[in-house]
Amino acid sequence: MYTILKKEILNPTVTKMVIQAPNVAKRAKAGQFIILRVDEQGERIPLTIADADPETGEVSIIYQIVGKTTMALNQKQEGEALQDFVGPLGQPSEIEGERVCVIGGGVGCAIAYPTAKAFHHAGSEVSTIVGFRNQDLVILEDEFKEVSDHYYLMSDDGSVGEKGLVTNKLEELIQNGVQFDKVIAIGPVIMMKFVCEVTKKYNIPTVVSMNPIMIDGTGMCGGCRLKVGDEIKFACVDGPDFDGHLVDFDEAMSRNRAYASFEKHERDEFCNLLNQEVH
């Protein structure tokens, strides 16, 4: 069992948890993820490692409450424990580039943050563009500012930062002559797709962190497979980071919806049970 040391509400639907998991903390690097099960009957879900300390054995995860399992996870309180917590899984992100732009969308910012931090510590000049639907959903603002040379906050409705999409800001910066060695986009698949459309025009190498459906997370089932260029890749072992200009985003979005009706049913049942609303 893996004890929850700390639970922090970051916004109405996003929560941070610090878990005692020395085996994961020992070797975790930016870009890697864990798989957890909340309880004995639970499903296995992947979540990115937001932070890890090999000294204390603590691992932070940040999750958005989107369905039955994340709701069940959110029911857990400090001092309680999770049934299973395995990792670090996947390839670490490649931290190379003198001038990089890290783009985070919504809860994807939880994954973008450790990446931005790793670039910052590696001495890169880091520009961060984060996007949220509105001001209530903004997370990790101070953390990002600390590791970014330039920080740009966008919101769909203009209630915080600048009104517009992350791609608007990216294109603006490029057109103003900022030369990025690399763009790293982490967020909803549709956002990563549009970021790649922008960077392809300007020929800027772009890495995306994919989030397909996973079961084991160790390469034994291929549930997380993606088309990357002419090849089939398993995101759990070959990724989750891939060359964004080669990923088949439309197929990835389609595959992510495979269990949408099942998930909706489960979520609605659980919502009624908890009398809770999910955004």
Residues that bind another protein (CB under 8 A): 23-24, 26-27, 37, 41-44, 68-69, 72, 83-89, 215-216, 218-223, 225-227, 232, 237, 251, 254-255, 257-259, 262-263, 266
- Least distance (Å) between residue 63 CB and another protein: 15
Chain-centroid distance of CA 20 in Å reads 21
Q: Which is nearer to another protein, 168 or 218 (CB)?
A: 218
Residue 232: both structure tokens together = 């089939």
Distance of closest approach, residue 229 Cβ to another protein, in angstroms: 13
Nearest to 13 by CA among 141, 110, 145: 110
Determine whether 119 is exposed, middle or buried from the number of CB atoms within 10 Å of its CB (0-12, 13-18, 19+).
Answer: buried
**What number of other Cβ atoms are within 10 A of residue 279's Cβ?**
12
221 annotated among ligand-binding-site residues: yes
Tokens of 98: 């003198």
Cβ 227 to another protein, closest distance in Å? 6
Cα–Cα distance for residue pair 103/192, rounded to 1 Å:
9
Least distance (Å) from another protein to the CB of residue 116?
23
Q: What's the Rg (C-alpha) of the chain?
A: 18
Q: Is 64 annotated for ligand binding?
A: yes
Name which of 27 and 200 has its Cβ closer to another protein. 27
Q: Which is nearer to another protein, 85 or 119 (CB)?
A: 85
Smallest separation (angstroms) from another protein to the CB of 266: 7
Minimum CB distance to another protein smaller for 35 or for 62: 35
Q: What CA–CA distance (Å, rounded) separates 139 from 110?
A: 8
Kind of pairing, strands 231-234 and 162-163? unpaired
Strand (E) or helix (H) holding 75: helix 68-75
196 is in an annotated binding site: no
Nearer to another protein, 169 or 225 (CB): 225
| Closest by CA position to 209, among listed 224, 198, 230, 221 | 224
Annotated binding site: 62-64, 221, 224, 236
Annotated binding site for FAD: 62-64
